[in-house]
Amino acid sequence: MTDDAADSAARNLAGQLGWPCFKRWLTLPDGRVPTFGSGSLFVNGDDLVVKGEKSLQLPSAASVEERFDPEKFRRQLATEAGVVSDPPEASRVQRAGEIPGLIYRPGFITEEDEAKLVALIDGAEWSTELRRRVQHYGWRYDYTQRQIDESMRAGELPAWARELAQRLVDEGWMQDLPDQVIVNEYCGNQGISRHIDQPRVFAEYVATISLLETWGMVFRRRNSKRKVEIPLERRSIAVLTGDARYKWTHEIPNRKTELLMDQHGKRRRVVRSRRISLTFRKTRQRRNA
């Protein structure tokens, strides 16, 4: 994992868990700033010292930035033993500690590989049976009956999907070789409602690779009010196993923007454009139609 990818993962994790790892910086333009209150303030070197309470009337050109503090993150991580699982060094997996069984790693594929995948996918035929465009490989899925039978065979996986499927098994992301892949395209405010991939149809491990943009995925604990949002970064992989697979629903919210952190640790509102997800699953024994 590159240093940039590690920093990005740390910023996202701190934001998800609400850790105090961010500093706010106020930038004032040249000019006068009216103040109110009985307190006083003065400059001491590089510090603005405030005694008592003082209010500032900020000009419209003033800006407030939120910056990530890596040192605070390291200290917080050291004191939160058990909240975040230690990732195996061999695969450098990032685990989202609030959701047992969710395995997440940014930078799973390269930018070059992403471009090749998108070109191959866009060169294939899209289905418009849903509100979003999809492509099914291996097996089609009946969204109404929530099942797969022998009549839904969709041929062999394409070469790009076979290569990724084999990698998922070789690197230990999935136990069994996936035989079903669904490609989902999300544009603008499109999303997908909360759900659990049908346990009767698909085996435990479900892996999703995100392309083109970083969008948030919301997880909700069943029979609970607990909710956690995980930004699925562009070119990342997320694998659902155990509790994350069976006890938490997941969804992509219908919204027009995403609140993301840039490489400097600043939170910015980004307008959605297009995201493609590749979901790999292993089907269970099927019944005849």
| pLDDT score recorded for residue 210 | 96
State the pLDDT at residue 187.
93
Please give the average per-residue pLDDT across 245-249, as a whole number.
91
Residue 152 has pLDDT above 80, yes or no: no
Kindly report the number of other CB atoms within 10 A of residue 261's CB atom. Answer: 21
Q: What percent of the chain has pLDDT over 90?
A: 34
Report pLDDT digits (tens) over 79-92.
Answer: 554 433 333 333 33
Predicted confidence (pLDDT) at residue 156 exceeds the cutoff of 80: yes
Burial of 72 (0-12, 13-18, 19+ CB in 10 A): middle
- Looking at residue 75, its pLDDT comes to 60
Same domain, 128 and 27: no
Q: Is the pLDDT of residue 1 over 90?
A: no
Tens digit of each residue's pLDDT (9 = 90 or more) over 272-282? 999 999 999 99
Q: What is the CA radius of gyration of the chain?
A: 23
**How high is the pLDDT of residue 47?**
64
Range in 60-74, 182-196, 238-252, 273-287 the model is least confident about: 60-74
Do 183 and 214 share a domain, yes or no?
Answer: yes
pLDDT of residue 25 exceeding 80, the answer is no
For residue 173, give the CATH number of its domain. Answer: 2.60.120.590
Q: Contact 264/67 with Cβ under 8 angstroms?
A: yes
Average pLDDT value over all residues in the chain: 80
pLDDT at 126 over 50: yes
Question: Where would I find the beta strands (DSSP E) of the chain?
Answer: 22-27, 35-36, 40-44, 47-51, 55-56, 63-68, 94-95, 102-105, 134-139, 153-154, 180-187, 192-195, 202-211, 215-221, 227-232, 237-240, 248-252, 257-261, 267-271, 274-283
pLDDT over 50 (residue 94): no
In DSSP notation, 92-110 reads T-EE-TTSTTEEEES-SS-
Q: Are residues 67 and 98 part of one domain?
A: no
State residue 85's pLDDT score.
37
Domain identity same for 95 and 186: yes
Cβ atoms < 10 Å from Cβ of 173: 21
pLDDT in tens, 31-68: 888 888 877 777 765 667 677 777 888 888 888 777 77
Contact 280, 213 (CB under 8 A): no
Q: Is residue 289 part of a domain?
A: no
Length of the chain: 289
Q: Are residues 124 and 14 in the same domain?
A: no
Number of folded domains in the chain? 2
Specify the pLDDT at position 167.
93
Assigned domain for 83 exists: no
pLDDT at 119: 96
Tell whether 8 and 129 lie within a shared domain: no
One domain for residues 143 and 271: yes
Range of the domain at 68: 3-78
Clarify whether residues 115 and 21 are in a common domain.
Answer: no
Residue 108 sits in the same domain as residue 207: yes
Residues 66 and 94 in one domain: no
Q: Do 141 and 210 fall into the same domain?
A: yes
| 104 and 29, same domain (yes or no) | no
Q: What percent of the chain is predicted at pLDDT more than 70?
A: 80
Greatest mean pLDDT among 11-20, 113-122, 238-247: 113-122
Whether residue 288 has pLDDT greater than 50: no
Residue 163 has a pLDDT of 94
- Is 84 part of any domain? no
Answer with the residue of higher pLDDT: 110 or 264. Answer: 110
Domain boundary among 78, 105, 129: 78
